[in-house]
Structure 1
Amino acid sequence: MRDIRVAVVGGGPAGIYAADILTKAYPNASVDVIERLPAPYGLVRYGVAPDHPRIKEIIKALHRVLSQPQIRFLGNVDYGTDLKMSDLRRFYDAVIFSTGAMADRPLDIPGVDLPGSYGAADFVSWYDGHPDVPREWPLEAKEVAVVGAGNVALDVARMLVKTADEQLTTEIPANVYDGLKANACTDVHVFARRGPAQIKFSPMELRELSHSPNVDVIVHPEGFEIDEAGQEAINSSKQTKMVVNTLLKYVETEPTGAPHRIHIHMCQSPVEILGDGKVEAFRTERTELVDGSARGTGETTDWPVQAVYRAVGYLSSPLVDLPFDHQAGVIPNEAGRVIDMDGNHQPGTYVTGWIKRGPVGLIGHTKSDASQTIDCLLEDVDSLQPAEVSDPDAIVQHLVERGVEVTSWEDWGRLDAHEMALGEEQGRLRVKVVPREEMVSRSRG
């Protein structure tokens, strides 16, 4: 069994799972997890809503993986800027890309570029304290439209109507609290193209909408349509049945008069964002279901809103020196082996997670995805081109010589402890540090 050195580019769940599976299956492997942010955990730290601490429990498992001696964390290193493919080829036998998906999938309707039209991913990055986005977010809109029928749409809606003080039990930084404190929103309208049996909400997320005493959830009966395909989905899926039953309860529940409201509208397809120099209304078309698909009826409605959030999916970004399928938003691959434009495998180059299969599925689904990729890598071990430089410290020296302030696993431990100390002062578990420079300096103690 030969020794191999592998780089995993991307320090979120997909990359960490791949490192764990590889080192357990192949004891002679050592793995560097290379992350462009100074902190690990990717989507769990910067994509999960702060009022969902249960989901963040996965961090405990990811922490155990990154603590293993065969795995090394190299943070604050940006592939394409600080490292090129030729560098990775020089220092590693194989490379696994797990860079995920952080951009918004486009919504191709007129008016989408009007001021007041926002991508949900950008809003999520703001309220999660991502270091590379602006510190302020415009929250002057009183009535807001959210386009989408998944959990991100619910996260956005919930964050827009829950009071800032309700978020003080979470890890939100001061700039996010101040922004939410000034939020003028009273009504959020969530629009889904299809009916209740096709909606992609998870039951838990949907039920949580009503947990705030300051929020009424109003599911409008118009468009509450279940066709034959929908009924089959209800009969065959416990989760779908739970979602439909929860929606029915909301339909039957009288509003309490709470100061904020989330309205859910089904069978409404986005048509146009209207406004003169800014968002002033959102136009939808009523749809009808045909074999589970939505078909337009020609009946349109203009909803008076001052902001629109597009939560129609995430999209991965192209990577330097790698092929990219812009339509699917993935790096072309076969079971995790990267393939070029001619369909040939790129030796020693692999992908896992959303950059491999698209932004679908929950965090737990990335384990089986990573297993498939690692199986391919292990099949290829004997044919992998050995790294030109085998010294593990050489890559760090290379980065330091280029002026990169690399953060280590020990550095993350210091930043982690600092954030938890900030939280303890306020009776919270953690308060995030937002500026990248401060993250790095706190990491260095």
Structure 2
Amino acid sequence: MTERNKLRLAIVGAGPAGIYAADILLKAERNFDVSIDLFDRLPAPYGLVRYGVAPDHPRIKGIINALREVLDRGDIRIFGNVEFGSDLTVDDLKRHYHAVIFATGAVRDAELGIPGIELGGSYGAGDFVSWYDGHPDYPREWPLDAKQVAVIGNGNVALDVSRILAKHAEDLLPTEIPDNVYEGLQDSAVTDVHVFGRRGPTSVKFTPLELRELGELRDVDMIVYDEDFDYDEQAKAAVAGNKQVFVIDKVLNQWRRRETGQASRRLHLHFFAKPIEIVGDDVGQVSAIRYERTEPDGEGGVVGTGEIRELPVQAVYRAVGYFGSPLPGIPFDKRYGIIPNHEGQVQLRDKETGETRQAYGVYATGWIKRGPVGLIGHTKSDAMETVAHLINDLGNWWTPESPSEESIVELLESRGILWTDLEGWHRLDEHEIAAGQPFGRARIKVVPRDDMVHISRDELPDEVRGADAGAQADSERAGE
């Protein structure tokens, strides 16, 4: 069999987009064999599902079960804790593979260009999500000394952030919340969370499921305002003609009839409220949010009314979307935060003529391909499109000097890279689950990167290994 009859493929990014792409390619009709290596900068796989979904969302995290089934087949190799651009370069990939698919997602917070956004106490929601999900590259502590907090945005991330801020820490204990996050939330000073959306209740971007979960919070009053429910004809038509909008409207109107005033915390939903400035105090800290009341423009949008309001808050979280990050040696569209591509085929642009051409051997899928829109499941159709082009481009793949499966292992070992594999992920997974069992918790996430790597590679110090054995023994005795 010639090398042209076998595809050695690298996929950079082991989240849903990368795993779906690998699975789709392996199941696709083709006239060549496939060998796939999946690389990720983190020691553990699953990307956004592990580090972007709130810990109290077990139904969504159930996607991991489907991804696990793909990986556990054993026909895809994983190399975790490998940073593209430093540990592994484009030239390395060309030397060892016929093609690469980038599935690196979008993890940076999108900017919000209003005055005061740079003040102390103003945060990106994505950074907060990474903290409460135990991302190893983020600080272990998060300032939660603000009593009144603003969250800007009307999507699912905005509601996730608002829910975690308003929820009592002990109600998160059955989940996989890391210990440092539980301790931080336990000491939180938050009493009021204010969520701001510039459009009306019938134009929100979150789902009915997300909204319902807010209403189930213990000892938290849901506060909505009657002035936001004076619907125009277009809003009424949306309620009547769209099931999802109908359910959202129904839930919100049920909250309007609820008695409030007994709970220790409150979650306020402000619609037709466009933030225009974050106000600071004399030491550069957030002290208030200033916003303009809006109204429907009759064409599905809103316009400002000129009425300016101000609400005291001591922290602001912007949840206005994510943005992709550039990859060394790969084209990047700074305006949209994506790798420029045509249906997943990466495009190069000539600086002098402005003309574009295909960068053969290089592909993209997921959010780095199309931007951070759509739910996790949408990445499947996205990957199908990219994989179809990859298969059809057979004649234009790279011609690697050393395409053997052993060569990439030898390269990583020669550079002293402490990479993790699928067996290592199983070891870390079992460790986290065992750590949570004595306390009735789903798992206790390991947060420090070094610890994740050492556990995955079975290189734990003896004192840690002994503590783990003791915890496991306690768990077994508790179950007798």
Identity of aligned residues (%): 56
Matched, 1:259 2:264: yes
Look up the match of 1:347. 360
Equivalent of 1:89 in 94, 98, 102: 94
Q: Which runs of 5+ in 1 are unaligned?
A: none
Farther off after superposition, 386-395 or 195-204: 386-395
Amino acid of the structure 1 residue aligned with 2:301:
S
Give the SS at the match of 2:17: helix
1:53-103 deviations in Å (ceiling 9; x for gaps): 111101011011112232111100011111111111111111000000111
1:378-423 deviations in Å (ceiling 9; x for gaps): 1112331232212112112111211210101011111111001001
**Does the Cα contact within 8 Å between 1:196 and 1:225 map onto a contact in 2?**
no
Look up the match of 2:293. 286
In the aligned structure 2, how far is the partner of 1:352 from the partner of 1:302?
Answer: 42
Give the SS at the match of 1:223: helix
Farther off after superposition, 173-182 or 387-396: 387-396
Equivalent of 2:374 in 361, 364, 368: 361
In the aligned structure 1, how far is the partner of 2:327 from the partner of 2:238?
Answer: 38
In the aligned structure 2, how far is the partner of 1:225 from the partner of 1:408?
Answer: 56
Supply the RMSD in Å over aligned alpha carbons: 1.2
Q: Which runs of 5+ in 2 are unaligned?
A: 350-354, 459-480
Look up the match of 2:420. 407
Farther off after superposition, 214-223 or 158-167: 214-223
Look up the match of 2:139. 134
**Does the Cα contact within 8 Å between 2:125 and 2:158 map onto a contact in 1?**
yes
Matched, 1:153 2:166: no
Farther off after superposition, 248-257 or 156-165: 248-257
**Displacement of 1:231:** 3.6
Amino acid of the structure 2 residue aligned with 1:377:
L
**Does the Cα contact within 8 Å between 2:107 and 2:323 map onto a contact in 1?**
yes
Look up the match of 2:329. 321
Could you say which structure has the larger radius of gyration? 2
Amino acid of the structure 2 residue aligned with 1:440:
V
In the aligned structure 2, how far is the partner of 1:230 from the partner of 1:387?
Answer: 58
**Structure 1 length as normaliser, TM-score?**
0.98
**Does the Cα contact within 8 Å between 1:29 and 1:70 map onto a contact in 2?**
no
Equivalent of 1:444 in 453, 457, 460: 457
Change (3 A) 1:231 1:393: farther
Change (3 A) 1:344 1:226: farther
1:85-134 deviations in Å (ceiling 9; x for gaps): 11111111110000001110001000001000000000000000000000
Equivalent of 2:120 in 112, 115, 122: 115
In the aligned structure 2, how far is the partner of 1:210 from the partner of 1:48?
Answer: 19
Equivalent of 1:379 in 367, 388, 392: 392
In the aligned structure 1, how far is the partner of 2:443 from the partner of 2:154?
Answer: 31
Look up the match of 1:125. 130
**Does the Cα contact within 8 Å between 2:168 and 2:218 map onto a contact in 1?**
no
Look up the match of 1:2. 5
Output aligned runs, 1:171-210, within 5 Å.
Answer: 171-210=176-215
Look up the match of 2:352. none
Equivalent of 2:55 in 50, 59, 63: 50
In the aligned structure 2, how far is the partner of 1:274 from the partner of 1:35?
Answer: 40
Look up the match of 2:243. 238
In the aligned structure 2, how far is the partner of 1:224 from the partner of 1:397?
Answer: 64
**Displacement of 1:425:** 1.8
In the aligned structure 2, how far is the partner of 1:163 from the partner of 1:405?
Answer: 38
Output aligned runs, 1:5-44, within 5 Å.
Answer: 5-25=8-28, 26=30, 28-44=33-49
Amino acid of the structure 2 residue aligned with 1:273:
I
**Displacement of 1:256:** 5.2
**Displacement of 1:212:** 1.9
Equivalent of 1:394 in 389, 400, 407: 407
1:363-392 deviations in Å (ceiling 9; x for gaps): 111100111111111111233123221211
Equivalent of 1:424 in 400, 424, 437: 437
In the aligned structure 1, how far is the partner of 2:337 from the partner of 2:234?
Answer: 29
Give the SS at the match of 2:372: coil
**Does the Cα contact within 8 Å between 1:423 and 1:431 map onto a contact in 2?**
yes
In the aligned structure 1, how far is the partner of 2:233 from the partner of 2:395?
Answer: 53
Give the SS at the match of 1:190: strand
**Does the Cα contact within 8 Å between 1:433 and 1:439 map onto a contact in 2?**
yes
1:308-345 deviations in Å (ceiling 9; x for gaps): 00000011111111111111111111000000123100
**Structure 2 length as normaliser, TM-score?**
0.91
Give the SS at the match of 2:304: strand
Corresponding pairs, count? 445
Amino acid of the structure 2 residue aligned with 1:433:
V
Amino acid of the structure 1 residue aligned with 2:333:
D
In the aligned structure 2, how far is the partner of 1:404 from the partner of 1:218?
Answer: 52
Give the SS at the match of 2:408: helix
